[in-house]
Amino acid sequence: MLAYLRVENFAVVEKVELDFSANLNVLTGETGAGKSILIDAISFFLKKKFPEISPRKPGATLLVEAMFTRDDEEFVFRREVRNGRSLCFINGQVVPFTSLKEKAEKLLNIYGQNEHTFLLNSANHRMYLDKFCRNRELLTGLALVYKELKKLISELDELKRKSKQAYEKIDFINFQVSEIENLGMQKGEDSDLEQQVKILSSAEEIIEKSNSVTRSFYDDEGSVYNKIADNLQHLEYLKDIYPELKPLCDEAGRFYNLLPEISSQLSEILDKVEYSEEELNNLENKLLKLNRLKAKYNLNLDQLLDKSEGLKKEKEELLNMDFSIKDKQKEIDHLFSQYKKINSELRYRRREKAKELSAVIENELTKLEMKHARFLVEFVEVEPDVNNISDKGSDRLEFYFTPNPGQKPGQIKNVASGGELSRLMLVLKSLIKDDDYSAYIFDEIDSGIGGKTAEFVGEKLKRIAEFNQVICISHLPQIASFAGKHFLVSKEFSENETFSYVKELSREEQVREIARLMVGSQVNDDVLKAAKNLLARNSR
């Protein structure tokens, strides 16, 4: 709801601040007092271009600020025009106009003059009819099927796209798998391969150095082993005299015993080292291929082998693509059958209820002095296509209307005047309890009516205001008498300038204003009494 409005330097309005009620608010005042200017100010959140009549004075800052509430949330909108430059704010943050407009459209519904966005948009007609039909459960079911269908269709498109590339990709996969498998290696074997290449490429040096160590340490007559053997008895003798030599003698003994073991291990190594130039070339080529693949894919051997397995699975999927496409198509066909079934139910209920809606609206319009008006729902049945579906159903519909006898109903946007749009909207809104809790603003709602018709309009406004905030500009006492809050718009002249003011009326002031609306300036006690009775009856 629109809780608070502040307008500064907007046309004849110098400064106005208003606190609105959550129900029915009525603005009255003499012709030309500036009632519609306030609606223009509120519309400032929906229109990028500001009126030529504003701002009030050259150089003055035009400001429109409003606070909206919805549930526990508060939104403060502000728009300023300074020296021809517009600035928009939401909760104190500068935003683009499009953001402000998008948010405002969810909180404001203005009906009057050319501000009938709801009725002029045929997409809203289907939404309204579905509310009248109470189609929420059907629409929820249709939306779920639609969402799953879109998902399956997307998956099918992806499968078909892959299928077109399948053969080309299979050839490429075969090549990748082949070059990895041709290595003939298992996980962890890259370290062994590097070791084998290292041994074979150094075979001559290994043999030479191993033989040299074996001879020097153990085999030759003058080997270390023999020299230590010759001197161990000397160490034993010296150890007896110098006990501190014992650790060194023990170490010499251990080394003496270690030399045969070293010689034995080196002999075993020599037995295994068989230099083969052919084998070395083969291993070096294998290592070269491995390193090339590692660099190509930026993977180690284990990761290359995992990639090969993944490619094989992908190849299998590609080879089974036709089966996958057929299975996916079956899923889509099954789900599309459900979609068509729900769509048919929607079509039937909409057509049945459309007749009832037309009759009710025409009856209500009769009470608004539109006795010859005709209203109908024009249907265009469209058979659903799986590639062109909607979560609202396949059929198109639009409200058609004519206010005049003998005139064929046409599109509302082409045949209805501002006042007729307002009355039509009034009837539509009074038939359904809305759950959007927006602010509904009606202008020109009472043009050309009076008497019981005016009272009927007031009742409709009050009914809408039970569930949504209503702000209405009126010049009729019957409508004003239904107000939860009544505001008087007045105009004054001072020093060749015109000023508009807005005042919230007390109960006593409201009686006097209703009396003025009844007879004009000649208000007497009888008129005041009649005004008081009217207010007492309709404000209950």
Domain boundaries, given as residue ranges, for the chain? 1-115+431-506, 158-321
| Rounded-to-integer distance, Cα 37 and Cα 44, Å | 10
Neighbours of 430 (CB within 10 A): 17
C-alpha to C-alpha distance for 30 and 473, rounded to whole angstroms: 11
Q: Which two tokens stand for residue 50?
A: 């500001």
pLDDT, residue 84, reads: 77
Contact, 336 vs 322, CB < 8 A? no
Q: What pLDDT does 64 receive?
A: 92
Helix (H, G, I), strand (E, B) or coil at 359: helix
pLDDT at 529: 93
Q: What's the pLDDT at 310?
A: 83
For residue 329, the model assigns a pLDDT of: 93
DSSP 272-329: H----HHHHHHHHHHHHHHHHHHHHHT--HHHHHHHHHHHHHHHHHHHTHHHHHHHHH
What is the length of the chain? 540
Q: Which amino acid is located at 484 in the chain? A: G
Residues 535, 517 contacting (CB under 8 angstroms) = no
CB count in 10 Å sphere of residue 116? 21
Distances (CA, A) of 246 to 233, 240, 241, 243, 329: 13, 8, 10, 6, 91
What is the rounded CA–CA span in Å between residue 476 and residue 23? 19
- From its phi and psi, is residue 444 left (phi > 0), alpha (psi between -120 and 50) or beta? left
Distances (CA, A) of 286 to 66, 193, 293, 305, 417: 78, 8, 11, 15, 88
For the beta carbon of residue 354, count every other beta carbon within 10 angstroms.
19
pLDDT recorded at residue 276: 57
Q: How many CA atoms lie within 13 A of 342 on its CB side?
A: 22
Task: Give the sheet arrangement for strand 108-111, strand by strand.
Answer: 93-95, 85-90, 73-82, 62-70, 2-10, 13-19, 497-504, 485-494, 24-28, 469-473, 439-442, 108-111
- Where would I find the beta strands (DSSP E) of 102-187? 108-111
| The domain made up of 1-115+431-506 is a member of CATH 3.40.50.300 | yes
Packing angle of the helix pair 136-181, 321-367 (nearest 10 deg): 160
- Provide the whole-model pTM: 0.62
Peptide bond into 55 cis (omega under 30): yes
- Strand-pair category, 374-380 with 24-28: unpaired
Nearest to 7 by CA among 18, 21, 23, 22: 18
Distance CA 37, CA 25 (A): 16
3-state helix, strand, coil in the chain (%, to 5): 55, 20, 25
Residue 243 DSSP one-character state: G
DSSP code string of 71-108: TTEEEEEEEEEETTEEEEEETTEEE-HHHHHHHHHHHE
User: Residue 5's pLDDT is what?
Assistant: 94
Question: Integer distance in angstroms from the first to the last C-alpha of the chain?
Answer: 22
pLDDT block averages, 10 residues each, the chain of length 540: 90 88 90 77 82 67 91 90 87 93 85 64 89 93 95 91 77 80 72 63 62 66 71 73 78 76 70 60 69 78 80 80 88 95 95 94 88 92 88 93 90 83 84 74 78 87 88 91 92 79 92 91 88 87
Q: Do the Cβ atoms of 471 and 20 come closer than 8 Å?
A: yes
